[in-house]
């Protein structure tokens, strides 16, 4: 390109590349935050499932019960989701006929402002052993 120089750019075109780069960076950051939140929610779902499974297994043994189930589920949950991450989880256990049921009501808040919370409920069941 003979005769081309930056001085030939019109004044209204200067900085146009910078705007494009800034928009691309902003879009990439928003996408990265969304992916991190998705993985956070998936981890939370798996951790809650593991905790209530552990609680219902411990509570379904002979001479155990609801209190053992809740204690063990909360211990497992504290180990898997410490601090603020596990604050939105409520675990309860009860006997339903011949089964012990552990349920968790979960609300996972994003660490980033403006990202909505994710709420769900999970249950785990095991046959209550009687020792007979």
Domains of the chain: 15-127 (3.10.450)
Give the pTM. Answer: 0.77
DSSP letter at 6? Answer: G
Whether the Cβ atoms of residue 90 and residue 104 lie closer than 8 Å to each other: yes
What are 34-61's pLDDT values in tens digits? 888 889 899 999 999 999 999 999 999 9
How many Å apart are CA 36 and CA 110, to the nearest integer? 10
Q: Mapping DSSP to helix (H, G, I), strand (E, B) and coil, where does residue 12 land?
A: helix
What are 59-86's pLDDT values in tens digits? 999 888 899 999 999 999 999 999 888 8
Dmax (CA) for the chain in angstroms is 97
Which of 105, 113, 110 is CA-nearest to residue 88? 105
Helix intervals (H) in the chain:
16-59, 66-80
């Amino acid at each position: 390109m003979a005769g081309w120089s930056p001085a030939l750019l019109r004044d209204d075109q200067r900085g146009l590349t910078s705007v494009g780069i800034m928009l691309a960076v902003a879009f990439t950051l928003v996408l990265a935050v969304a992916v991190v939140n998705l993985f956070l929610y998936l981890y939370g779902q798996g951790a809650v499932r593991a905790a209530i499974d552990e609680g219902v297994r411990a509570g379904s043994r002979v001479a155990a019960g609801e209190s053992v189930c809740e204690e063990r589920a909360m211990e497992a949950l504290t180990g898997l989701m410490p601090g603020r991450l596990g604050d939105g989880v409520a675990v309860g256990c009860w006997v339903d006929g011949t089964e012990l049921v552990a349920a968790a009501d979960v609300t996972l808040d994003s660490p980033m402002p403006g990202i909505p919370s994710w709420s769900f409920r999970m249950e785990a069941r095991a046959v209550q052993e009687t020792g007979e």
